[in-house]
Amino acid sequence: MELRERLARVAAARAVLREVEGRTWKGSGSNGTGSADGEEDLPLRGMHVKRHQIDDETHASPSEGPGRRRERDARSAPFTTSEERHDLRELGLEIVGLTPPDPLTLAHLGLRGEPPRRWEDVVFLDTETTGLSGGTGTYVFLLGTARIEGGELVLRQHLLQDLGAEREFVGAIHKELEAFRACASYNGKAFDLPILRTRVVLALRGELNVDETHLDLLHPARRLWRDRFGSTTLRQLEASILDEPRGNDDVAGALIPDRYFHWLRLRDQRIIEPVLRHNARDVISLVRIADRVARAVMDARSGRVPDHARAALALARIFERHGEAEPAYRCYESAYVEGDSTIRVRAALPYTRALERRGEIDRAIAMLETLLGLDIGTPSWREQGESRLRRLMRVRWRKQALATAS
């Protein structure tokens, strides 16, 4: 580790300690959140949600009646599980959880594998780990999951309180994930799922199967919004797409591992609470971004294509790949009309293909003649364009010859 990085981590550790030692703890509740009944504010639309601990061995609510195992004390338990419930419409959702999942729409969401038939079969997940580089030495200490149930989004957070109890912790989250047909994540294919697989293998000598059908929303988000906003981090999309920027109190992801280790040593809830809030926000934003991508797809199908040329071009390509010719044509047309010369060159050849399928040969020829006359595009593109133009002119000549003969 370089000296600069070591100094940065030391400074971060000191900042956490100053925060804990210098602040006066307010609140009458015994749960460490400043509320006696477990109610707290989540930084989403000013909603109030109920959080309660779930028994970490049975995963059952302690209030479910006699016969249930008593909840362990939160400080001595090897891991804890908390749960929150949010109304889907209060989250601003219109498609996810409220309409049956459409296989073609799921393809736009980055689906790999067989599409699930119900949203209840999909688990949205995000992990917090003891390191940012992965590998066998990196532990998952917090798993946030969200699922659809009875018109609500059920958010669960599994927090490892003792690294020595990882086997029990991984067994519990593995059991929970096994119930789902598919998972959704944000860059999970490259980070979250490989780490979870590694921990399952090392702790249980087992396999994690939930990622066989996987929706990684990073890729559709990049296609739709990277060129518009420059960044497609969840934090950026919350500010730009959801219009709900995070406040300055949000803990930076790079500081989360150090904060967790300080919490393990000091056991002060004020150290870990910002991490729990950060993770909860990530998981809920993941669901809402999935809904926004699905909404963009449904709007394009109904004729309301994006006015941003690059987003329209990205949608057009996926529509064409999955055989949806009409929305593909509309998106190609929007990309060509609204785009600059670079986008027009990229859209021109597939757009002429869409025009040809519609029988609009003259329009396709005129467009290619205009672009080639402007002497734009790479030599390779011009060669393809000239070849396409010659073929279209032959098609037009044959049609005219047939019309004359008849």
CA dihedral sign of residues 249, 85, 53, 175: negative
Mean pLDDT of 88-103: 94
Q: What is the pLDDT of residue 195?
A: 93
Residue 392: band (very low, low, confident or very high) from pLDDT cuts 50, 70, 90: very high
Find which of 94-108, 182-196, 221-235, 263-277 is predicted with most confidence, using mean pLDDT: 263-277
Find the farthest-apart pair of alpha carbons in the chain and give their distance in angstroms, rounded: 93
The whole-number pLDDT of residue 19 equals 58
| Least confident window among 60-69, 125-134, 300-309 | 60-69
CATH 1.25.40.10 residue ranges of the chain are: 305-405
Q: What is the mean pLDDT of residues 40-67?
A: 45
Q: Is 77 helix (H, G, I), strand (E, B) or coil?
A: coil
- Rounded to 5°, angle at Cα 139 from 136 and 140: 130
Does 23 score more than 90 pLDDT?
no
Q: Which amino acid is at 351?
A: Y
Q: What's the pLDDT at 81? A: 95
How much is the mean pLDDT over the chain?
84
Name residue, tokens 């150090």: 258
Write the DSSP assignment of 209-226 as a string of letters.
-GGGSEEETHHHHHHHHH
Element (H, E) at 128: strand 122-129
The residue type of 17 is L
| H/E run at residue 122 | strand 122-129
CATH number of 305-405: 1.25.40.10
CB 261 within 8 A of CB 130: yes
- Residue 21: is its pLDDT beyond 90? no
At 326 the pLDDT is 95
CATH hierarchy code of domain 3-20+41-64+74-297: 3.30.420.10
Residue 331 CB partners (closer than 8 Å, separation 6+): 300, 305, 306, 312, 313, 315, 316, 319
What's the full length of the chain, in residues?
406
Tell how far CA 127 is from the center of its chain: 12
Which of helix, strand or coil describes residue 393?
A: helix
C-alpha–C-alpha distance, residues 329 and 29, integer Å: 59
Q: Say what the pLDDT of residue 67 is.
A: 34
What is the tens place of the pLDDT at every residue in 254-313? 999 999 999 999 999 999 999 999 999 999 999 999 999 999 999 999 999 988 999 999
Q: Where in the chain is the domain with CATH 3.30.420.10?
A: 3-20+41-64+74-297
**Cα–Cα distance between 280 and 274 in angstroms, integer?**
10
